[in-house]
Amino acid sequence: MEHARTVELLTKICVETPGLSDEQLVQALVAHGCEPGLAVEAVRFVPVAFARQFLNGMGISFSDTYWKFSPDGTIQEQGSLSNHILYSMAYDLSPSLMSKPVISNVAFRSPEANAVNNALNGGSQPANLKLAPLAFFLGEPTESGYAKAQERIKAYLSATPSASSTKPWWKIW
């Protein structure tokens, strides 16, 4: 099944059958002819693309990086979202598919959309929000693997300067 059709199918299933777990959504995609590996990737990346399209223009700082962790917390794969074919296809298609039900049932499947929503409801300003790379586990993480992945994410966030911590170019002092 081609990537565009996978994005459209995932969107349709999410709207027609809201509340499916990731596993149920993968099974539904496979039942409709999607390859299992592509179905898993779609469940991971399509909601993120829709959420970012929905949140676009708010001034939120999104990372272009994704990490796939093994259960022990080691990075098994990392890459650029802008180079990920399924993510890029979903991002490009999302404006033509966007609707209230799609926002509720696809975009808000994204952990980023929920994190941003919680931060905004807590009083944060969008321009002050900086998101870590997307992180997925390839299998059930161990307790130490989860802790190791969290440390990696914290290190990334503390090592990357925020806009508010850099001196404006025009200040000489």
**Residues with Cβ within 8 Å of residue 154, at least 6 apart in sequence:** none
Q: What is the 3-state secondary structure (H, E, C) of 3-17?
A: HHHHHHHHHHHHHHC
Strands 134-137 and 75-80, bridge-based pairing:
unpaired
pLDDT tens readout for residues 65-123: 999 999 999 999 999 999 999 999 999 999 999 999 999 999 999 999 999 999 999 99
- C-alpha 93: how far from chain center: 16
pLDDT tens readout for residues 33-74: 999 999 999 999 999 999 999 999 999 999 999 999 999 999
Helix ranges, 56-169 (H): 85-97, 100-105, 111-121, 143-159
Burial of 33 (0-12, 13-18, 19+ CB in 10 A): exposed
**Residues with Cβ within 8 Å of residue 128, at least 6 apart in sequence:** 162, 164
What are the tokens at 132?
């870590």
Q: What is the 3-state secondary structure (H, E, C) of 66-81?
A: EEEECCCCCEEEEEEH
pTM for the full predicted model: 0.87
Tally Cβ neighbours within 10 Å of residue 23.
Answer: 10
Residue 10 has pLDDT above 80, yes or no: yes
Averaged pLDDT for residues 143-159 = 91
